[in-house]
Structure 1
């Protein structure tokens, strides 16, 4: 008899439970109350259990009913997921979307864009790939991602770029570093002077920038693969380095980090990194990728607001 169970019966069970009555369930489903009562009685007969205690003013789930209600909800969730996935496949929606993200780009901006994507296509799986320097371009070149946000300027005819944002950065040092007192005084520090101190530098995992250095002044460098490690090493007083302001705003405000007024980088050691949104010219963007692209452009506009 279990083979005779229907999804409709499970929906009736949930409707009655959530509304607290057979009449409420009937109203929600747009049916006669008698039809809802019949569906529940039929379901109880097929399962050979009593789902509701009807002795009171309102029907109350029995312990068996509560257990089976959870199962019914799980089954309907899987069915609805199957339908949504099938509908998405019919519309050409991607099953997974890979995006390469430069660590300079504000994570809160990227996260808001990704939330828009999730709201529009909740079944699309997303993989966010950290991609400093030339790594984003390499990932695009090798078809390992669909979209990339990068601040590196390596033109490639196979890659279409859209200017998306300007991200301010600053040269900073820990308040416990020997450079901190001079930096805090506002005295301009020359590039030659900075070269005497260890600089924390983000390394390019790709080979696209081999032989090129970006804002590297020191002969002694510590190289890391991500901004989180770079930030931690600078805060520990190991060396100085450039970091995006969105990442270090609180550290500067609370005095853990100090700006280095280096003429090499501009007023108060500040520079600007230009970000591009990139995709391959020979690859059609599916609905999810188009949605994410539009969301990234829209959310990036808030940086200048």
Structure 2
């Protein structure tokens, strides 16, 4: 058994397929398959079921992977500590950003900050709801920018800004309506953004009970569907303010559908040490540089 084999299994589980894991690890798919096969043959166990289109962990595989995750996490913590000790400055900082965050504001802050730290590479992941925190728990990112976490963990978090979620609909879709009601909305698709979490509990937020729905995985695609009159849904105000001003979209409120002010936090794993760049980034965010 090797660390490389454990990292391969971890990538397959997280990415959802052997091919996606190969792309993530920058390896060939046959080498990924061989690494798993050798481990299975060494211990005479089946870690993955190949009966379906996507590989899934067997009962033995789930037990094995739960233990493997502990070793992988400790390895990554040791790797990060060694890198900080040897170089002083982090070579990379990984950030996951929740889709409901004021993205333009967050990106401006990150651009300004990392322009002063050219030796540290910024890697961004855009996630939805619980998926943002899951990336942090799994060690895929160093920082999450997200609404308040809904899971218990060793988090250190600070409130950094606010965002407003409003419900909008294509103006063309309601041109003959005197007033938009919940009954009217239930007769049209609510466009829902799917939670990108793979393991931890998913969140359904702002869903109108009894409504028809279309589920998408990208905030930009959700906006486009609403713009094209294929349904209605909640979007960050900053993302649609121009369309509201030009009357392409109309803001709606009903008895059950209301605007929501959402507090946005910067979150990190409190059990992990911070290098100098990470520490400065954290302090700048605490000082209100984002909001």
> Same fold by TM-score, threshold 0.5 exceeded?
yes
Determine the C-alpha separation between the residues in 1 that align with 2:180 and 2:253: 5
Output one character per residue of 1:240-261: Cα deviation in whole Å (capped at 9) or x when no partner: 0000000000000001100112
1:273 correspondence with 2:269? no
Determine the C-alpha separation between the residues in 2 that align with 1:144 and 1:202: 22
Deviation, 1:157, is 2.7
Determine the C-alpha separation between the residues in 2 that align with 1:113 and 1:292: 10
CA contact (8 A) 1:133 1:209 kept: no
Cα 1:173–1:292 shift into 2, 3 Å? same
Q: Please show how residues 177-196 of structure 1 align to structure 2 within 5 Å.
A: 177=173, 179-182=174-177, 185=178, 187=179, 189-190=181-182, 192-196=183-187
* TM value normalised by structure 1: 0.62
1:299 correspondence with 2:289? yes
Corresponding residue of 2:237: 245
Indicate which of 203, 218, 225 corresponds to 1:226.
218
Cα 1:296–1:195 shift into 2, 3 Å? farther
Determine the C-alpha separation between the residues in 2 that align with 1:220 and 1:151: 26
SS of the counterpart of 1:277? strand
Output one character per residue of 1:70-90: Cα deviation in whole Å (capped at 9) or x when no partner: xxxxxxxxxxxxxxxxxx986
Q: Please show how residues 35-46 of structure 1 align to structure 2 within 5 Å.
A: none
Determine the C-alpha separation between the residues in 2 that align with 1:131 and 1:180: 34
Q: For structure 2, which runs of at least 5 residues remain unmatched after alignment?
A: 1-83
Deviation, 1:196, is 2.3
Corresponding residue of 1:158: 154
Determine the C-alpha separation between the residues in 1 that align with 2:120 and 2:224: 34
Determine the C-alpha separation between the residues in 2 that align with 1:209 and 1:133: 10
Deviation, 1:172, is 0.2
Corresponding residue of 1:136: 132
* TM value normalised by structure 2: 0.65
Q: Please show how residues 106-125 of structure 1 align to structure 2 within 5 Å.
A: 106-125=102-121
Output one character per residue of 1:34-85: Cα deviation in whole Å (capped at 9) or x when no partner: xxxxxxxxxxxxxxxxxxxxxxxxxxxxxxxxxxxxxxxxxxxxxxxxxxxx
Deviation, 1:91, is 6.0
Cα 1:265–1:272 shift into 2, 3 Å? farther
Q: Please show how residues 1-305 of structure 1 align to structure 2 within 5 Å.
A: 92-151=88-147, 153-177=149-173, 179-182=174-177, 185=178, 187=179, 189-190=181-182, 192-206=183-197, 207-210=199-202, 212-217=203-208, 218-266=210-258, 270-297=259-286, 298-301=288-291
Determine the C-alpha separation between the residues in 1 that align with 2:176 and 2:230: 16
Output one character per residue of 1:215-252: Cα deviation in whole Å (capped at 9) or x when no partner: 11153211111211111111011000000000000000
